[in-house]
Amino acid sequence: MLRCFVCVILLLAGCLWAQSKEQAKAPATEPAPQSAQNEDFRPIISRFPLQPDSVVTLDQFDGRVPSQTKCDSDGNVYGGFAAGPASSITRISADKNQPVTFSLSAVPDLAAPNAPSPVLSEFAVGTDGSVYFLILIRKQDSNSGGASGSSRRMDPSNFEYRVVSFNSDGKYHSQFKLDQGLAPNRIAVFSSGDLMLAGSEPDPEDEDTRIPFAGVFDSSGRFMKEIEMPRDLRSPDGPQSQPAAGGWNRRGSFAVRGNAQGANDGNVYLLPNAAGAPVYVLSPGGEIVRTIKLESSANERLGMSVAAGRLISWSQHVDNRRPQRLTSPPPSGQAASPPAVGADDSLFRIFNLQSGELAAEYTASPDLGTFACYSSGEFTFLRLDQAHHLQVVTASPH
């Protein structure tokens, strides 16, 4: 009996020691909220302003700015440059050295004389560094004008949709065309190498109506499984009693918009472009395994990124498509003053990928530029200096 009692005491002591070690691992800048005792419990999260740590000027871009940016788990930034057959994506490494370019000019049939000009719609980055272009090519017999106007010109039936893939070293690998009728506008890569494509397709009950579509495809373009997505964007357990305005409705020609990204946990994270929408976590098997609520108000315009075991959402109060131009550099030899928190600042929320809990909040001044990446507690922004050179700004809370 005494021996059993001693064993129990030793077991309890070991559990308490392991728990104290795990708590010591929590990063100081992302305090873990306490467990909720009831549904109304909400942890108090302090907001920290981001301040620049370093600025690197890149001369090789000749004043060009990326129209889209992505990020991988290693902190590399991928910038998309739309220029027809010469459209390209450049990987800027975390150490800002030796950029790698993935260019459609390396695709033989797209670079051929008199070939139709592709439009870069979206791109995705695989966990192995491979890059996938989602491009549109206008059909030669499509109506480019007339009484139907701009809505007719953007009719998905006027375009051919392709996915073009590149190896991590920038070499062209392969391409495939999508079946007639599918009009994806979001692409992401599962760690297995399969693809998630989301957009719209014709309603079988009404050919003039398009409905949301999301599916899993293999790397050769073979359709594997449709993902059963909700027909509206009512947030689970949220305050909305009606579908979110302007969101996932049956008559939206491009119903699924927003951000999509594959993560190292094997899933794809999809944020539709609608007020109050949660992030949908999609498994390689084509199932919605859970949702993550973003603690956002209905009038916020959100972006999303996934890196380093974290989900990052941000409110875009500045134009996300163009880096900000500096108004005036600090005097020579003088450090830049910390950014003040103002009405035009962006708000960044950091969530734990596994639990979905809000872990930290940060604010960023527009002077930092356009958000491009988050990795291991550091934020990366892009901006233009007065000489029209692209600058990579690394920032963190101080």
Give the end-to-end CA distance of the chain in Å, rounded to a whole number: 56
pLDDT at 157: 79
**Residue 216: beta bridge partners?**
196, 225
Least confident interval from 24-28, 130-134, 221-225, 268-272: 24-28
pLDDT at 309: 83
Greater pLDDT, 84 or 268 = 268
> For 83-99, what is the mean pLDDT?
87
pLDDT at 7: 54
Most confident of 100-109, 134-143, 252-261: 100-109
Q: Where are the beta strands (DSSP E) in 178-205?
A: 183-189, 195-203
Q: What is the pTM of this model?
A: 0.76
> For 293-310, what is the mean pLDDT?
78
Give the pLDDT confidence of 1-46 residue by residue, as tens digits: 545 554 545 545 555 444 444 343 344 455 444 444 444 445 567 8
pLDDT at 143: 55
Residue 296: band (very low, low, confident or very high) from pLDDT cuts 50, 70, 90: confident
104: tokens are 């459609």
pLDDT at 21: 40
Percent of the chain residues past pLDDT 90, beyond the cut: 35
Q: What is the DSSP letter of 367?
A: G
State how far the Cα of 90 lies from the Cα of 149, in Å rounded to an integer.
35
Q: What is the DSSP letter of 321?
A: T
> For 386-396, what is the mean pLDDT?
91
Greater pLDDT, 148 or 277 = 277
pLDDT at 44: 65
pLDDT at 84: 84
Percent of the chain residues past pLDDT 70, beyond the cut: 69
> For 263-279, what is the mean pLDDT?
84
Supply the Cα-derived Rg of the chain in whole angstroms.
23
pLDDT at 142: 59
Separation in Å, CA 68 to CA 31, 156, 229, 254, 321 = 31, 21, 26, 18, 7
pLDDT at 36: 41
> For 261-277, what is the mean pLDDT?
84
Identity at 106, one-letter amino acid code = A
For residue 168, pLDDT beyond 70: yes
C-beta of residue 203 within 8 angstroms of C-beta of residue 209: yes
Give the pLDDT confidence of 59-81 residue by residue, as tens digits: 877 777 788 888 887 889 999 98
Give the pLDDT confidence of 100-125 residue by residue, as tens digits: 999 999 999 998 888 888 999 999 99
Within 10 A of 251 (CB to CB), how many other CB atoms are there? 11
Least confident interval from 58-67, 83-92, 160-169: 58-67
Q: Where are the beta strands (DSSP E) in 256-337?
A: 259-262, 268-271, 279-282, 288-292, 302-307, 310-315, 324-325
Q: What is the DSSP letter of 271?
A: E
138: tokens are 């206008």
pLDDT at 210: 79
Least confident interval from 69-83, 214-228, 293-307, 352-366: 293-307
Helix (H), strand (E) at residue 4: helix 2-24
> For 366-382, what is the mean pLDDT?
89
For residue 305, pLDDT beyond 60: yes
Residue 181: band (very low, low, confident or very high) from pLDDT cuts 50, 70, 90: confident
284 CA to centre of own chain: 18
Mean pLDDT of the residues in the chain:
76
